[in-house]
Amino acid sequence: FVHYGKKQRTDAYKAIFDLLKTGGMLGLFTTRGEIAPMFEKRDELIKNLKQSGFQNIETKHFPDVYLIAIAKKPHKPQK
């Protein structure tokens, strides 16, 4: 995603969200934006994933250079 602009990244996350089965998960392993500005910063990544519909987003720095993010497509609401 490093070559994508902000809108392209959000569009890509939305496309992945649409392709995932309900309850499916997305895992990202990237360089932290705080280290390399062409990458998303943690807060920006979380915001973009939430805007795309993901929930239960967890992030972890590993080992202070890389960022791991896991996000889940929620189950459909019960009727």
Q: Does the pLDDT of residue 78 top 90, yes or no?
A: no
Q: What is the pTM of this model?
A: 0.82
Residue 54 falls within a domain, yes or no?
A: yes
Residue 15 falls within a domain, yes or no?
A: yes
Q: Does the pLDDT of residue 79 top 70, yes or no?
A: no
Helices 6-19 and 42-51, axial angle in degrees (round to 10): 50
Q: What is the span of the domain harbouring residue 14?
A: 6-72
- Tens of pLDDT, residue by residue over 21-70, are 999 999 998 887 677 777 888 899 999 999 999 999 999 877 667 888 89
Residue 1 falls within a domain, yes or no?
A: no
pLDDT for the residue 77:
55
Number of domains in the chain: 1
Higher-pLDDT residue of 64, 3: 3
Yes or no: say if 52 and 8 are a contact pair by the CB < 8 Å rule: no
Residue 79 falls within a domain, yes or no?
A: no
